[in-house]
A and B are shown apart, each in its own frame.
Chain A
Amino acid sequence: MRVQLALLALLGAVLAAGAGAWQLSRIGIHQGYSPAQPIAFPHKVHAGDNQIPCLYCHFAARTSRHAGIPPASVCMNCHNVLEKQTVEIEKLKEAVDLAQPIRWVKVHNLPDFVYFNHSQHVQSGVACQSCHGAVEKMDRVEQVSPLTMGWCLRCHREHAKVPVNDFERAALSLKQKQKPTAGLDCASCHY
């Protein structure tokens, strides 16, 4: 009897410890973070229903480390000519008229000490969705991925090919033209 109780207690303790450790290890991870935005911009309508390519608005992602939130002027490219009016679009136009930048709330926040470059990934043919999820189905953008180093590495490991001999190296640099390899060196992201 006593023994069983003891074992039970032990089991409980172990489980509790495990749960605790898991929680600790999740500190600073904001998966599922989905803040309200000053203008309720529906990606669903733009990227989904109207099939606007991501890089039309987030043009910076092609060449810069920042994907960049499009300037209001980019929105106005279309909304100047579209007569559809909603409260949200009113907000946008007001902002433009008042020459007042829009304070969007950032959804995906990387840690301070890692260097991430959008263009590198876009140029390597990584789909936006593979990190940001199916944004085109979202009304309000949500952080889908944990954005942890482990999560980054899972993908990098798949696409990393560290050649060991000259032949492989030659083969690789041929392949490079089409598909670059992901770095596994610390210095690929940390500097």
Chain B
Amino acid sequence: MSSTVIRVNGKAPAEVSQHHVPMLPPPVWVDGSPSLRQITDDIARPLEMRPGKGWWICFSIAFAALLNLGGMVSYLFAKGIGIWGLNNSVGWAFDITNFVFWVGIGHAGTLISAILLLFRQQWRTSINRSAEAMTIFAVMCAGMFPAIHMGRPWDAFFIFPYFPNQRGPLWVNFRSPLVWDVFAISTYLTISLVFWYLGMIPDLATLRDRAAGGIKKFVFHILSLGWSGSQRTWSRYEIVSLVLAGLATSLVLSVHSIVSMDFATSLLPGWHTTIFPPYFVAGAIYSGFGMVLTLLIITRYTMNLQNYITLRHLDKMAKVTMLTGMIVSYAYLTEFFSAWYGGNLYERYHFINRATGPYAWCFYLMVLCNVVTPQLLWFRKARTSVVFLFAVSILVNIGMWFERFVIIVVSLHRAFLPSGWGMFYPTVFDVGILVGSFGLFFTCFLLFIRFLPMIAMWEIKGVVGHGAHKMALSSQEQEEPVSV
């Protein structure tokens, strides 16, 4: 957008702001008004120097977890699903819980980069890149679980309609939400990937130009697709990003709606509910922002980017978290209300059992994390205390994981026929694979912040003081006055 402008008028920022202050308050989303070169340096630094001790520690932990994942999944394939705690009553537990959890995480990225882009929320600029990366890694983790939860993973290709097929025309079951999932998730992954990569091209070009030479330069050369930065490139580039944003926006809503139909279309009390799609989407955004908060709070310290990911960013995200959190709480209420009001024997028993049964503690943990916690964010103090926000973000993640656990396991363990009731107890492999999925996620993310610009340089340059007036013109609505 405005980068073009920045590039044409190379005046000192001071003049610009002087000149324009009476006109409009300049929206500034970067502290300590660094020079453009300074910005590039700050953001490119981690990529060009050896990583610090902090990074290595995090990475070794994450990688260990990843190795553990590899080991346990191999053992799973060798032995069978029996090594999990599942049984005839509870056919899904950690596997699908993790799946829904990770898909949920995956929502923030696209939301931030697509929807906020359409709404022209400038503050997204410094967080969208890492949020998108997070999305991709989260969806990778999510995609893993449906694959490994199969009894015969080597036949996983059965769920795609494939050709040539010696079994005679033999189709997948288009009535099955699991098939919808396959399409939804794969589409979502593709679009997010494209969106993410496209957004990086100008920065890759920058890195290409900065690179001294050798393999690094070559790689960036290839990746940046011969980006020239000409006027024409920029204008087309922006159109493309807008179009992609439009596509991605619909996906944000579709994916988790479809995931929620895995449950909504079945007839189990606790699953068979019409409010699931919106409820799940809200929950997804809620958990997604939770995870973004966690990641950014860590990285802004480890990579000392406090100037770029400012308290004002955290404040914004906290507000979104609170809002979605309250939507989720509302959904919980609705569920209980309709269970009581609907008067369905099984439904009613299920919700009583949810709050008083053997898994009640999960339910109350969930309520604590998803209903009570967000309410604390009403206070500005809370929203601006980094430590507190970090704690909140962790709680949010825990709460959302347990929400899925409650929905899946508590519904299954006491279904229609009391003779079929039974408890689920996780085994070391259930837990290990959950931990492993975090390992996969963080390994990817750490590699990302090590090798790719984790903040969109070209975009953030638009929201420092220099381009303020241009930015103001391009911006449709008022930015709130900067409070520093």
Contact = CB atoms under 8 A, between A and B. Distances in A.
- The answer to whether A and B touch in the complex, with CB atoms under 8 Å apart, is yes
Interface of A: 21-22, 25-26, 29, 146, 148-154
Cβ-closest 5 pairs across A and B? A150-B168, A153-B168, A149-B167, A148-B166, A25-B164
Interface string B221-233: 0000000000000
A148 B167 CA distance: 6
A21 B164 contact: yes
A25 B168 contact: no
Nearest to B157: A24
A150 B167 CA distance: 4
Interface in B154-184: 162-170
A26 B168 contact: no
A154 B165 CA distance: 13
A149 B168 CA distance: 6
Contacts of B170: 149
- Which size bracket describes the interface of B in this complex? under 10
Contacts of A150: 165-169
Contacts of B163: 21
A76 B169 CA distance: 47
A154 B169 CA distance: 10
Q: Which of B162, B166, B167 has the most CB of A within 10 A?
A: B166
Nearest to A21: B164
Contacts, number: 27
Contacts of B162: 21
B168 A154 contact: yes
Interface in B119-163: 162-163
| Chain B facing A: main interface SS | loop
Contacts of A149: 166-168, 170
Nearest to B167: A149
A148 B170 CA distance: 12
Q: Residue among A25, A146, A151, A154 with the most chain B CB within 10 A?
A: A25
Interface of B: 162-170
17 contacts: A22-B164, A25-B166, A26-B166, A148-B166, A148-B167, A149-B166, A149-B167, A149-B168, A149-B170, A150-B165, A150-B166, A150-B167, A150-B168, A150-B169, A151-B168, A152-B168, A154-B168
Contacts of B166: 25-26, 29, 146, 148-151
A154 to B, nearest CB: 7
A113 to B, nearest CB: 12
Nearest to B163: A21
A29 B166 CA distance: 9
Most buried by B among A26, A146, A149, A152: A149
Contacts of A146: 166
Contacts of A29: 166
Contacts of A25: 164-166
A66 B165 CA distance: 28
A110 to B, nearest CB: 14
A185 to B, nearest CB: 14
A109 to B, nearest CB: 15
Given A21-B162, A21-B163, A150-B169, 13 more contacts: A21-B164, A22-B164, A25-B164, A25-B165, A148-B166, A148-B167, A149-B168, A149-B170, A150-B165, A150-B166, A150-B167, A151-B166, A153-B168
Contacts of B164: 21-22, 25
A153 to B, nearest CB: 4
Contacts of B167: 148-150
B158 to A, nearest CB: 13
Contacts of A148: 166-168
A153 B169 CA distance: 9
A38 to B, nearest CB: 31
Most chain-B CB neighbours within 10 Å: which of A146, A150, A154?
A150
Contacts of B168: 148-154
Contacts of A22: 164
B347 to A, nearest CB: 34
A153 B171 CA distance: 14
A26 B165 CA distance: 9
Nearest to B166: A148
B286 to A, nearest CB: 42
Contacts of A26: 166
A105 B431 CA distance: 51
A152 B169 CA distance: 12
B156 to A, nearest CB: 14
B181 to A, nearest CB: 24
A69 B163 CA distance: 37
A150 B170 CA distance: 9
B100 to A, nearest CB: 31
A9 B58 CA distance: 43
Contacts of B165: 25, 150
B163 to A, nearest CB: 7
A13 B31 CA distance: 51
B45 to A, nearest CB: 38
A5 to B, nearest CB: 17
B471 to A, nearest CB: 40
B321 to A, nearest CB: 45
Contacts of A21: 162-164
A126 to B, nearest CB: 18
A21 B166 CA distance: 11
Contacts of B169: 150
A152 B167 CA distance: 9
A96 to B, nearest CB: 42
A150 B162 CA distance: 14
